[in-house]
Amino acid sequence: MSSSEDFVALEPAIISACAKHEQENGHKRDYRRCLPFGSYFVKFDADWSFLPEVTTLKYLADLAKNDASAPRVPQVHHFFNRNERMAYVVMEFIQLVEVPTADLAVKAAQAVFWMRGVPAPSDVVLGPLSSGPARHVVFKNRVAPLDFVSVEALERYFNKVVEKLRMRFRNIADVSIANEQLVLTQSDMDPSNFGVDAAGRSVILDPGEIGWLPESLALYTLFRTTEFASDVAACLYTPEDAARLGAHPNLASMAVVRVMLAQAAGPTFNNNGQERSGK
């Protein structure tokens, strides 16, 4: 079964299976809106937020399909929505094998290395393909509050926060990212977002927090988030390079910015990174 007509015929069954999955599992702490469906894998989410993820997934899968050095990325077979509320993507099901966490870190490092070599398309400013805000742990609730119009705008936004923080942290340095290259980044460095197939090839899973970000945010993900991310970084860099990159002033400043943004009531800046009048 591969034609679009076949998948359209399956849509009611897919919707029903997803509704049942949510009803039975939605209360669980580690619940995710995804499930096997026959020989495929289905993921679903709110329509307004899902399109950038699916567009990015399809783009990466098409690139990886023709690149022998690439990790595996599930191919997108069908995407549809219902009543502009919930959207569904039917994708390739990749059978994974269990490996020790240390081996998974090596495979994840291979995937991260490949992603770093994927240039940003000309229409990407920050974040995923299509539209939608950038995602990164520095932002409150892991989502940028605005669709920033440029990296310079994001730098201004961060430094407005830094300016306020200097009342308590006088030595905090300005964040300097305006001239950094954009790096394709998995901002959620959790082991569940990577896998290994039966042939030993690394697999990229769940692109919901994958997007193009300035180099410093990519490094922050590797050096300042999870133990697994640190293990992956150790596979990518020599100890000397890791020490140098991990000590970059941007990372220290963003760590403090992250704390303040997590406590903030809401954004007071526009998408050009400038404070709104009267704030």
pLDDT tens profile 229-266: 999 999 999 999 999 999 999 999 999 999 999 986 54
Better-predicted residue by pLDDT, 265 or 117:
117
217 and 246 in a single domain? The answer is yes
87 and 105 in a single domain? The answer is no
84 and 118 in a single domain? The answer is no
Q: What is the pLDDT of residue 265?
A: 52
Mean pLDDT of the chain: 91
Asked if residue 273 is part of any domain, the answer here is no
- For CA atoms 31, 37, 43, 47, the dihedral sign is negative
Q: How far, in Å, CA of 85 to CA of 46, rounded?
A: 6
Nearest to 269 by CA among 155, 166, 124: 155
Domain that holds residue 76: 4-92
82 and 130 in a single domain? The answer is no
Asked if residue 23 is part of any domain, the answer here is yes
Token digits for 135? 């995602």
Asked if residue 279 is part of any domain, the answer here is no
